[in-house]
Chain A
Amino acid sequence: MTGHLRSWPIVLALSVASAPLVLMYVYLFVDTVTNAPPGSFVPNEFTLEHWSFLWHTPRGRPSIWRVTLNSLLFATSTAALVVVISSMAGYVLSRLNVPARGFFLAGVMVLHAFPAITLIVAIFLVLQVVGLYNTLIGVILVKAAIDMPLGIWLMKGFYDTVPWEIEMAGIQDGASRFTVWRKLVLPQVKPGIFALALFAFLLGWGEFILPQVLAPGGDVQVLSVYLASLIADDNNFDMALFKSVGLFYMAPVLILFFFFQGHLMNIYGGGTKG
């Protein structure tokens, strides 16, 4: 009891300090389904008009569903690329005696630390030359390449925890190196693969700069670019619409986090459960 008594000032202080944050989130939601009279914070009517972008495409803008599909394609494709390539590259760097292994390891580390944004002009030029500018494929490739070092490093860490004898036992049992990887090692790093896939998806879903610069066109717009274009438009500036689209954009992330937070924690454990 005394513990509770002594902690209540702290609780109170924390509540007061975080109240503005909570209020912000509450208003973010409330504002999307109500109208308030000018100059007031208190809403006076319920409305769905701010969500009308879902069924009505304003002139001069791509359809929200098209954009959502692009975002999904973008995030899942980059995640898939990152997972497939990192899970193989991580294994090679962890186990096989490849030439210049140390160089690759260091290189991956440096690339991970390298601010990708400094490359954007060069990437822009390259994409233009090869004809992938303003295409989803182009920006997917770029995003996957930028996320890859993290993925490779992460997967290498997971592979490092798999006992070496398991692989040797597999080889003795007559399996090829590839089969050993597929059937014996990969199942041990499932938590890593899963977490990496989720991370890569979320990174892709939240990416703004790359699609904005490399694929701004209406057909290939992703949600973040669409959202930004709403406030960039000075003529009919609609705060409530912006908030609604923002909520819509956030929802999948929240849902994913809600369902998979346990797995996400696992990534730092680095263990081989499952």
Chain B
Amino acid sequence: MRILLDKFSKSFGDVRVIEDMTLEVNDGEMLALLGPSGCGKSTTLFAICGIHKVSGGRIFFGERDMTDVPSQERNVGVVFQSYALYPHMTVAENIAFPLRIRKLPEAEVKRQMEEMARLVHIEELLGRRPAELSGGQQQRVALARALVRRPNVLLLDEPLANLDAKLRLEMRSEIRRIQLETGITAILVTHDQVEAMSMCDRIAIMNAGRIIQIATPQEMYRNPRTAFVAGFLGNPPIAFLDAVARDGWLAVEDADIRLPVPPGTRTPPDGTPVVLGIRPETLGREGDAPIRGRVTFVETQGRENLYDITLANGSVLRSIQRVSDDVSLNDEVEWRVRSDQIFVFSQNGERL
């Protein structure tokens, strides 16, 4: 079911957390709400499920205006960051709770509960209590409980934050599988860009209560609208470098670097200070514009090495390359950057 937030605002007392946010999530889509801590992701989620009353604007599910519908009637499944399982009930009772509230016949409750347990692979845990489960298992139970009554919308608030790295990887694909299998419209809140990029159809990047950009992960990575977006996506992260426009080139004068203006970018007037964004994978042995510096940090990640190189003016760039032994710490290197893939931002962070 399509979700539409139309000029949604939320304030707590005098604190305006969200202002005039408009966001549309298509039917069957999984959208990531990505942003730094405190930017209003949870607040948005809680407004959609009705825990928070909105201060302004409307919320639609499909064509229906849900703004003033109480939580209980919105039919939204929520997975909380802490899972919020009912500790005094067994897994089976937890999953069955929403059905029992609906007063379904007991046989039907049992059938649907077991079907859902099969979907999330926890059939053999039905008799246990939440305290006797691992984090990943609790997570599945929470997911099953949210899905069992076939909600119109599934909301996930940082569902993977409490899991260890391996389990996180596993649950990432698991949640995506279940979402695709059920065809449910879902919103995933996260501040982990890898999670957002790998699980979702589209990403909405938020900062300070506003949506900066909505796009597919690919599009957002290749074509960030602001320096904030570019800085948020990508691991290892993008590096920024101060430069000025000079004779149709972009120059870092105190480090002896001259880069051509990338295609599709407005050439700024002479003397304008700009910020260059250079992703680690665009700096390496191949490319068209030379960059000289000293290697100040080397980290091997197995298949690849991550280098920090410090330029003459003290700025630091990152480069990620195939593992090789010919570069070591404190070497002076001359590498190249693929200048058509760098981003140019104005001083206030807007892409040029």
Contact = CB atoms under 8 A, between A and B. Distances in A.
B51 interface: yes
Interface in A151-180: 163, 165-166, 168-176, 179
B303 interface: no
A184 interface: yes
Contacts of B76: 172
B84 A174 contact: no
B88 A274 contact: yes
A187 interface: yes
B88 A173 contact: no
B235 interface: no
A174 B98 CA distance: 6
Given A166-B86, A187-B88, A274-B88, A172 B101 contact: no
B102 A163 contact: no
Interface in B95-128: 97-98, 101-102
A188 B85 CA distance: 12
Given A173-B97, A174-B101, A163 B72 contact: no
Given A165-B84, A168-B84, A175 B78 contact: no
B84 A175 contact: no
Contacts of B98: 173-174
Contacts of A274: 88
A7 B88 CA distance: 47
Nearest to B80: A165
A168 B80 contact: yes
A166 B142 CA distance: 11
Nearest to B155: A172
B51 A171 contact: yes
A175 B101 contact: yes
Chain A at the B interface: SS class: helix
Interface in B114-148: 145-146
Contact of B82 (A165, A170, A183, A184): A165
A174 B102 CA distance: 8
Contacts of A184: 86
A9 B146 CA distance: 66
A18 B146 CA distance: 62
A174 B51 CA distance: 12
Interface in A258-274: 272, 274
B149 A163 contact: no
A174 B78 CA distance: 11
B88 A171 contact: no
Contact of A169 (B72, B84, B102, B149): B84
Contacts of A163: 82, 84
A173 B51 CA distance: 12
A272 B146 CA distance: 24
Contacts of B72: 171-172, 174-176
Nearest to A272: B87
Contacts of B224: none
B277 interface: no
A228 to B, nearest CB: 45
A187 B130 CA distance: 15
B145 A173 contact: yes
B179 interface: no
A172 B145 CA distance: 10
B87 A188 contact: yes
B321 interface: no
B338 to A, nearest CB: 47
B78 A172 contact: yes
Nearest to A186: B88
A230 B102 CA distance: 61
A171 B101 CA distance: 10
A272 B88 CA distance: 10
A272 B71 CA distance: 27
Contact of A188 (B49, B50, B71, B88): B88
A183 B146 CA distance: 18
A172 B79 CA distance: 10
Among A171, A173, A174, A184, the most chain B Cβ lie within 10 Å of the Cβ of A173
B84 A173 contact: no
Contacts of A169: 78, 80, 84-86, 145
Given A171-B50, A172-B77, A173-B149, 16 more contacts: A163-B84, A165-B80, A165-B82, A168-B51, A169-B78, A169-B84, A171-B51, A171-B71, A172-B49, A173-B97, A174-B72, A174-B101, A174-B102, A175-B72, A184-B86, A274-B88
30 contacts: A163-B82, A165-B80, A165-B82, A165-B84, A166-B84, A166-B86, A166-B87, A168-B84, A169-B78, A169-B85, A170-B97, A172-B51, A172-B71, A172-B72, A172-B76, A172-B78, A172-B146, A173-B97, A173-B98, A173-B145, A174-B72, A174-B101, A174-B102, A174-B149, A175-B72, A175-B97, A176-B72, A184-B86, A187-B88, A274-B88
Interface of B: 49-51, 71-73, 75-78, 80-82, 84-88, 97-98, 101-102, 145-146, 149
The 8 tightest CB contacts between A and B, nearest first, are A165-B84, A173-B98, A169-B84, A187-B88, A165-B80, A172-B78, A174-B101, A171-B71
